[in-house]
Amino acid sequence: MGGLAEVAQVEYIERVKDSAGFGFETPGADTFQGRDIIILAMGPSRGHCPFDTETWAVNQGYYQVYEMHGRLDKLFLAHSQVYSEEGNPYFKWDEINSLADAGVEIINTHRVKELKSKMFPMKQIIKRFRIDYFSDTICYMIAYALYDSTHKKNGKVELKYPLRLRFYGVDIQDRDEYGFEKPGIEFWIGYAFGLGV
């Protein structure tokens, strides 16, 4: 089984390399008028991110943003503290707080006493969309973008303005991501598409 997984990973890396010419550049000027948000995760396709608009990253993705000399507007976390097998903390709250001090909005689904963050508006989002299906942090990010860009009119959820979401680094790679996270991401992308995003 390990051999098959290794072959699949090699094929995946080749697909990511081959994707460089597909859909990342459009001829002529970009004519989209509206709110444009990049949702940036930590997969290999993050290297294609142009950082040319509002950019939201996930977890420790801020390291990659700064390595790539990109911009960061919001950082989403869906954790309290996580520890390695050696007992080392995964998140460095002081680093993340310095991002907040520099103007990056930190949004977390958990209350962390030592973190300068805003709570994810879970109850309000569930009430607006009547959905509580979140398989990973990318789902929270999509739902937040939709919540921030919609209102209810005559009982129906509608966009307040044109919205475009662009995804980089959201590469569903391993078995857990593929089995547990991918369906939620697909669901929220479908919901967004249905709203006209």
| Cα angle 5, 9, 11; round to 5 | 115
Burial class (CB in 10 A: 0-12, 13-18, 19+), 183: middle
150 vs 90, which has greater pLDDT? Answer: 150
Beta bridge partners of 54: 37
pLDDT tens sequence across 55-64: 999 998 999 8
pLDDT tens sequence across 142-166: 999 999 999 999 999 999 999 999 9
**H-assigned helices in 46-136:** 61-67, 93-101, 122-129
Give the predicted TM-score (pTM) of the model: 0.82
